[in-house]
Amino acid sequence: MSLPKVLQNLRLPVVGAPMFIVSGPELVIAQCKAGIVGSFPALNARPQHVLDEWLTRINIELDQHKKDNPDAIVAPYAVNQICHGSNNRLMEDMATCVKHKVPIVITSLQANKDVYEAVHSYGGIIMHDVINIRHTEKALSMGADGIIAVCTGAGGHAGTLSPFALIPEIRKIHDGLLLCSGSLATGGSVLGAQAIGADLGYIGTRFIASKEANADEGYKQMLVDSAAKDVVYSSLFTGVSGNYLAKSITAAGMDPNNLPEADKSAMNFGSGGNSDKKAWKDIWGAGQGTGSINDSPSIADIIDRMESEYKAAKVRISSS
């Protein structure tokens, strides 16, 4: 099946994944100008009315860029909605998205019929993130247009299934838009995701170590200094299992090799959990792809490099 129209003209088959705190207008605009989809969680715009300001700015800057560079590939942007009872802004944020006709909405945690109807009312598309087949079936039955498989090794809240297992299983029940995430950090890994059946790669951690990301310089440097072995999977910090940089856990005064299990009653997606250190702010999320990050250049430079790697990987494979 062909890609939805809105995704047919990308420079590289990549969506920049939404990241709590890290993704704001600078990052999104840079990603779209570089030719990949940029996205941010609506909850990053605080208080709620700031979402309207961010969307206005993104639309104006991207429209201007298109006018100034008529031949450039400018990708669409996406807004991430956390569909969970703890998000009391959800429908207000949706009304703002409808006002701006946000081209793509990414839903996380629960598939939500009201959100889906709102997005479809103006012709937008929904991509829902999942960690297993049960979540996939549920989202598809509610009308999701695309599925994002959040596989093992992904930054932030992540699943435990290998993409080599999950992507083909999803393909058995869904021939539409499918994205693959978890540790993708190079152009070669994007081609790998396509080789196993995904249409697009969904990448978070690589973009934290960029000039435009809203992240502490120490966080960016820790990504450069860390490898896959330095990523710890724990439910302690938010009540949901996710991947974090071991060195940030140590810096917060805890032993990353001896973390207690989370108390589910303390589930809190934004922060907190069972320690006085805040997830995302003090305990830094990262996927295992951190081992492929060696610098923090601009998004334009990262995408130039990824595109060369992607093309080189294609040549390497087709000549082997």
Ligand X SMILES: Cc1cc2nc3c(=O)[nH]c(=O)nc-3n(C[C@H](O)[C@H](O)[C@H](O)COP(=O)(O)O)c2cc1C
Q: Which residues bind ligand X (CB under 6 A)?
A: 17-20, 22, 41, 80, 108, 129, 150, 154-156, 181-184, 202-205, 280, 285-287, 289
Q: Shortest distance, CB of residue 109 to ligand X, whole angstroms?
A: 8
For 47-58, letters b (16+ CB in 10 Å) and e give: eeeebbebbeeb
**Pick 70 or 85: Cβ nearer ligand X:** 85
Let me know if 116 is exposed, middle or buried by CB neighbors in 10 A (0-12, 13-18, 19+).
buried
Q: How many CB atoms lie within 10 A of CB 83?
A: 18
What's the closest the beta carbon of residue 184 comes to ligand X, in angstroms? 5
Cβ nearer to ligand X, comparing 176 with 291: 291
| Rounded least distance, CB 148 to ligand X, Å | 7
C-alpha 131/C-alpha 279 separation (Å) is: 21
Confirm if 52 and 96 have CB atoms less than 8 A apart.
yes
Residue closer to ligand X, measured from CB, 66 or 252: 252
The least distance separating ligand X from the CB of residue 238, rounded to whole angstroms, comes to 10
Strands 38-41 and 125-130: unpaired
Nearer to ligand X, 182 or 188 (CB): 182
**Which of 18/188 has CB closer to ligand X?**
18
What single-letter amino acid sits at 10?
Answer: L
Q: Which helix (H) or strand (E) holds 201?
A: strand 200-203
At which residue do the structure tokens 């309207």 appear? 52
**Side chain identity at residue 232, one-letter code:** V
Q: How far is CA 65 from CA 20, 35, 60, 210, in A?
A: 26, 12, 9, 21
Min dist CB 71 to ligand X, Å, is: 30
CB of 121 to ligand X, least distance (A): 22
- Distance from C-alpha of 32 to C-alpha of 74, rounded to nearest angstrom: 5
Residue 203 has φ and ψ, to the nearest 5°, of -125, 125
Q: Which is nearer to ligand X, 19 or 74 (CB)?
A: 19
| Contact assessment for residue 82 and residue 269, using Cβ atoms and an 8 Å cutoff | yes
Least Å from the CB of residue 155 to ligand X:
3
Identity of the residue, 96 or 181, whose beta carbon is nearer to ligand X in the bound complex: 181
Minimum CB distance to ligand X smaller for 72 or for 227: 227
Q: Residue 243 CB, nearest distance to ligand X (Å)?
A: 7
**Sign of the four-CA dihedral 205, 211, 212, 213:** positive
| Residues contacting residue 63 through CB under 8 Å, at least 6 positions apart | none
Rounded to an integer, what distance in angstroms lies between the CA atom of residue 128 and that of residue 178?
Answer: 10
